[in-house]
């Protein structure tokens, strides 16, 4: 398998964790989002990923986009070492946590949005940071409430083995810390992050460990 990835991309980070958790090896192909006017915008890459986003996973003849779709694909094609529970209600719970991050937090803070705020809306650096913090904190507030009160929370978001929920939580915490959000305010989220990062599958997937890390 080949993974088109950018070291700092949270969505790429998610897929790297899932591949590692399933003991799947892959070739790492860097797509630098800032160099050469954005390598993701080059016509050759857009043939693989019409949305000009990372990651893209190539598995044989199949070219797959969108991190959560890729991880569901890996779960279906490599069901050993599952990242989703068995019971449909529990699967929906884990997916809801993943989607809360992927749909409600992450999209508001990625590169193209911050660029638009700065260049099109002429928003100050301070207001841009406030925007960033607002959506992370609003999302983490409700995620913390959920995790702190649900009996399914264990060492990870669902019990004591990592699932799709943790695969989304860890990159979002990493990203938040990079932008100086005080994640200690969210003790359950922070605890899950710390625990996950002790596992090789998470640690090896971290941005700083990638071949294109700066």
Question: Which pair of tokens denotes residue 144?
Answer: 């913390």
Residue 142 sits in the site that holds a second copy (CB under 8 A): yes
What is the C-alpha to C-alpha distance for residues 90 and 36, in angstroms, rounded to an integer? Answer: 44
Look-up of token digits 């990923």: 49
DSSP bridge partners of 30 = 5
Among 18, 33, 48, 70, binds a second copy (CB under 8 A): 70
Look-up of token digits 């890459």: 45
What is the C-alpha to C-alpha distance for residues 91 and 7, in angstroms, rounded to an integer? Answer: 29
> How many C-beta neighbours within 10 Å does residue 120 have?
8
Residue 176 sits in the site that holds a second copy (CB under 8 A): no
Residue 41 sits in the site that holds a second copy (CB under 8 A): no
Between 64 and 205, name the residue whose CB sits nearer to a second copy: 64
Q: How far is the CB of 86 from a second copy (least distance, A)?
A: 10
Between 121 and 213, name the residue whose CB sits nearer to a second copy: 121
Q: How far is the CB of 111 from a second copy (least distance, A)?
A: 13
What is the C-alpha to C-alpha distance for residues 82 and 163, in angstroms, rounded to an integer? Answer: 8
Helix (H) or strand (E) segment spanning residue 143:
helix 125-149
Q: How far is the CB of 76 from a second copy (least distance, A)?
A: 4
Over its C-alpha atoms, the chain yields an Rg (Å, rounded) of 17
Q: How far is the CB of 195 from a second copy (least distance, A)?
A: 22
- Return residues touching a second copy (CB under 8 A): 50-53, 62, 64-66, 68-70, 72-73, 76-77, 88-89, 91-93, 95-96, 98-100, 102-104, 106-108, 113, 116-117, 120-121, 123, 127, 130-131, 134, 142, 145-146
């Amino acid at each position: 398998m080949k993974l088109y990835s950018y070291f700092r991309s949270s969505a790429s980070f998610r897929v790297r964790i899932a591949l590692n958790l399933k003991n799947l090896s892959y070739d790492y192909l860097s797509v630098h989002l800032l160099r050469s006017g954005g390598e993701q915008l080059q016509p050759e890459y857009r043939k693989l990923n019409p949305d000009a986003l990372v990651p893209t996973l190539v598995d044989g003849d199949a070219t797959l986009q969108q991190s959560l779709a890729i991880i569901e694909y890996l779960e279906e094609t490599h069901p050993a070492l599952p990242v989703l529970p068995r019971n449909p209600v529990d699967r929906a719970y884990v997916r809801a946590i993943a989607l809360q991050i992927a749909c409600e937090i992450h999209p508001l803070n990625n590169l193209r949005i911050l660029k638009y705020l700065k260049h099109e809306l002429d928003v100050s650096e301070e207001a841009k940071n406030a925007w960033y913090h607002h959506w992370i904190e609003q999302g983490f507030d409700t995620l913390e409430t959920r995790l702190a009160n649900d009996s399914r929370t264990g060492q990870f978001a669902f019990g004591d083995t990592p699932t799709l929920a943790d695969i989304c939580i860890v990159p979002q915490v990493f990203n938040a810390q990079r932008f100086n959000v005080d994640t200690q305010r969210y003790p359950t989220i922070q605890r899950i992050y710390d625990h996950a990062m002790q596992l090789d599958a998470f640690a090896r997937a971290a941005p700083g460990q990638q071949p294109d890390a700066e």
